[in-house]
Amino acid sequence: MENGSIRLTAPEMSSLWTQYMFDSMSIWFFKYALGHIDDKDIKDIYETALQLSISHVQQIEEFYKGENYPIPKGFTDKDVILDAPRLFQDPFYLYYLYIMTLQGLTGYALSVGTSIRADLRKYYINCNAETMMLYEKTIDTMLTKGLFTRPPVLSPPAAIDFVKHQNFLTGWFGERRPLTGIEIGDITFNMNKMNLHVALKVGFSQVAQSEKVRKYINRGTDISNKHLGIFTNIFIEEKLNSPMSWQAFVTNSTTPTFSDKFMMYQVQLSTQLAIAYYGTALSVTSRRDIGLKYLELIIELTKFGEDGANLMIENGWLEEPPKGSDRRNLAKGKKEDQKNSN
């Protein structure tokens, strides 16, 4: 049976919708950035990233047309002022792409796992390969320019060992055991993401046009800084180095640059992904005190994300993802028709 005659499943449609929203946003962020980036190496990477996002959007539109499904609105040229003054400096743009490619690799891997139709699996495998190449160029450039903080390293033990005491799991009282390599890696990764969140929100708060949106983004900045403080204190206690901050690479521009809808989408996306990555870290964290911290941070972000969704609904900015038919209401309508015919 040909691929075209097999309907896409609910998970397949949803993953395409999610990617369409992300890539349509990325197109306009990349176009704006390319109007300001001076560094040739960074500009070349952004031009590649822009072409990939355009290609993805076009391919997703073809999938949607094949299903006779409405193409999402996503984001357009109305969501960015391309000739607005520079809001971020070149190093920030490189770091932004580093985090976005990491998130893309995670998303494409999940999409491959939930895709059944052969053409869609092939599409996501190709997207993953393209993003890996983009990631390679991005991190190599960061290393060359001295813009990457390497995570802490581990000293080799004399021999392998096994856990002998339950205090391996504790962390509230008494002497805490050192962090495992997995715990160090997750905290480092989440700090890297939070550093991006802070810089992005600082910039967005300067150019937000709605007072409600500005206050919400500023609240998000406070939350991100709080989380960074918690992670930093853990590393200070362990005498480990922390990733660098990127807030210094935000300019002083206050000229409207992106639509409030555009900025709220990015803030919401970063919140949802932070919750997901915190959950992943929680699942492999053995020290109870750190596990409890992740739970508290997840709860705080969940409330923040819900308030953001309500703000987007209030302004008509929250586009509905694909959803199933409302069978209950359809059944009610049929009963109503039968009642009226009698």
Which tens digits make up the pLDDT trace of 121-172? 999 999 999 999 999 999 999 999 999 988 888 778 776 666 666 555 565 5
Shared domain check, 144 and 183: no
Q: What CATH number did the domain enclosing 195 receive?
A: 1.20.1260.10
Q: Is residue 26 part of a domain?
A: yes
Mean pLDDT computed over every residue of the chain: 91
- 261, 254, 265: which is closest to 84 by C-alpha? 254
Q: Which residue has the higher pLDDT, 212 or 323?
A: 212
Residue 250 has φ and ψ, to the nearest 5°, of -95, 130
The number of folded domains in the chain is 2
Q: Tokens standing for 292?
A: 């409890």
Shared domain check, 299 and 184: yes
pLDDT-derived band at 1 (thresholds 50, 70, 90) equals very low
Q: Is residue 230 part of a domain?
A: yes
Shared domain check, 144 and 208: no
Shared domain check, 257 and 139: no
Residues in the chain: 342
Give the C-alpha separation, 159 to 121, whole Å. 43
pLDDT at residue 339 is higher than 70: no
pLDDT-derived band at 294 (thresholds 50, 70, 90) equals very high
Shared domain check, 213 and 120: no
pLDDT of residue 155: 76
Give the C-alpha separation, 111 to 283, whole Å. 21
The radius of gyration of the chain from alpha carbons, rounded to an integer in Å, stands at 23
pTM: 0.89
Give the C-alpha separation, 76 to 239, whole Å. 47
Contacts (Cβ under 8 Å, ≥6 apart) of 192: 99, 243
Q: Is residue 162 part of a domain?
A: no
Shared domain check, 208 and 304: yes
Residue in this structure with the two tokens 């609105």, named with its chain if needed: 73
Q: Is residue 42 part of a domain?
A: yes
- 270, 323, 294, 43: which is closest to 187 by C-alpha? 294
- Domain residues for the domain of 291 are 175-319
Q: Is residue 167 part of a domain?
A: no
Shared domain check, 144 and 188: no
Q: Is residue 57 part of a domain?
A: yes
Q: Is residue 331 part of a domain?
A: no
Shared domain check, 212 and 77: no
Q: Tokens standing for 196?
A: 């991006």
Tens digits of per-residue pLDDT, 22-53? 999 999 999 999 999 999 999 999 999 999 99
How many degrees, rounded to 5, is the angle at CA 216 between CA 210 and CA 221? Answer: 125
Q: Is residue 200 part of a domain?
A: yes
Shared domain check, 91 and 42: yes
pLDDT of residue 79: 98
